[in-house]
């Protein structure tokens, strides 16, 4: 690994370590040494937030054994080791309260049934190199709506025979995979069972190629969300892509913008309920607010005693729609 790659790792690791520094490494684990590194064989703790060590006895933790967390009803969030490359079968089997996984992108696949019986709602992945990950394995096991935050680093290179890294910047993508489910419906005259699909989530779970998320294909599925999911789901998905436009084409950006403009009152309700001040500012910068949508947001903020959102919306209205001074003729 050359100096430039080490520099990239250092910048990614800095963000990871900043998040890890206030959390104690969980000690209630059993492990064994393998030819590929350390394997965590069992977790026996009762913490709701679990940070697994990146190293044990000076060696990287590279694997999580079959059934390592199985039937743990306490754990809600797990930060997996940075160099993890293998997750065994049924590793999180029936961890019914597990809501969030945080991991690196060296893990490319999950063992069969790893998330069976879980209801995961959020995933964070840190990309140290490339854009391959195990995200496809995760979302394919989850039929429920799941929110995904992706973080990585993009580099610029000097021209020449050898690629010398000069500078780069962090990128972030927020991706929503809507819920989907199948229903067996009896066709009585034909005496057969037909499978009916509900929700757009099934289409989005097909937007992968060679373990990478295909952003173009993902964006092209938006009409399915509009047709099959709630308006709030479509608003959240469109806002995510506009605010964090990783690999977003101009064509699809305009599709999302048009939808947001046409549903600004739903957008206002969505942002106020989540106290999303940055989202309110983003729409101000893009000049997407309308007076009726601002009023809708202010009404909801006032009813819910959300004073920060109310104050922000009032400032936006004053900035974008200043009241005209009355003039009188004598």
Cα Rg of the chain (Å, integer): 23
pTM, to two decimals = 0.87
Task: Say if CB 292 and CB 265 are below 8 A apart.
Answer: yes
Each residue's pLDDT expressed in tens, for the chain with a length of 330 residues: 444 443 445 556 666 666 565 555 667 899 999 999 999 999 999 999 999 999 998 999 999 999 999 999 999 999 999 999 999 999 999 999 999 999 999 999 999 999 999 999 999 999 988 999 999 999 999 999 999 999 998 765 555 544 555 556 889 999 999 998 776 556 677 667 656 567 899 999 999 999 999 999 999 999 999 999 999 999 999 999 999 999 999 999 999 999 999 999 999 999 999 999 999 999 999 999 999 999 999 999 999 999 999 999 999 999 999 987 666 565
Q: Which long-range contacts (CB under 8 A, 24 or more apart) does 2-6 make?
A: 4/155, 4/164, 4/165, 5/129
List the chain domain ranges.
1-177
Helix H or strand E encompassing 171: strand 165-177
How crowded is the C-beta side of 226, counted as CA atoms within 13 Å? 13
Please name the fold of domain 1-177: 3.80.10
And the tokens for 50?
């679990």
């Amino acid at each position: 690994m050359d100096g430039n790659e080490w520099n990239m790792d250092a910048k990614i690791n800095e963000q990871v370590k900043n998040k890890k520094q206030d959390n104690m490494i969980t000690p209630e684990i059993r492990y064994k040494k393998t030819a590929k590194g350390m394997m965590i064989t069992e977790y026996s703790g009762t913490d709701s937030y679990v940070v697994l060590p990146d190293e044990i006895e000076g060696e990287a933790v590279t694997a999580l054994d079959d059934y390592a967390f199985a039937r743990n009803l306490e754990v809600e969030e797990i930060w997996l080791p940075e160099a993890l490359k293998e997750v065994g079968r049924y590793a999180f089997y029936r961890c019914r309260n597990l809501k969030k996984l945080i991991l690196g992108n060296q893990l490319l696949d999950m063992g069969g049934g790893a998330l069976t019986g879980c209801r995961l709602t959020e995933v964070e992945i840190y990309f140290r190199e490339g854009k391959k990950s195990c995200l496809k394995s995760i979302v394919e096991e989850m039929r429920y709506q799941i929110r995904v935050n992706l973080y990585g680093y993009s580099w610029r290179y000097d021209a020449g025979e050898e690629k010398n890294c000069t500078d780069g910047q962090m990128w972030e993508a927020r991706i929503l995979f809507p819920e989907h489910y199948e229903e067996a419906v009896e066709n009585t005259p034909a005496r057969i069972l037909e499978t009916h699909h509900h929700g757009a989530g099934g289409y989005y779970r097909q937007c992968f190629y060679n373990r990478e998320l295909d952003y173009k294909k993902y964006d092209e599925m938006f009409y399915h969300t509009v047709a099959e999911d709630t308006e709030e789901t479509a608003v959240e998905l469109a806002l995510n892509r506009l605010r964090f436009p990783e690999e977003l084409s101009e064509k699809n950006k305009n599709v999302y913008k048009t939808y947001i403009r046409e549903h600004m009152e739903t957008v206002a309700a969505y942002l106020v309920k989540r106290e999303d001040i940055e989202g309110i500012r983003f729409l101000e910068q893009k000049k997407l607010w309308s007076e009726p949508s601002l009023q809708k947001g202010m009404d909801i903020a006032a009813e819910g005693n959300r004073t920060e959102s109310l104050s922000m919306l009032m400032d936006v209205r004053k900035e974008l729609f200043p009241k005209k001074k009355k003039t009188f003729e004598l």
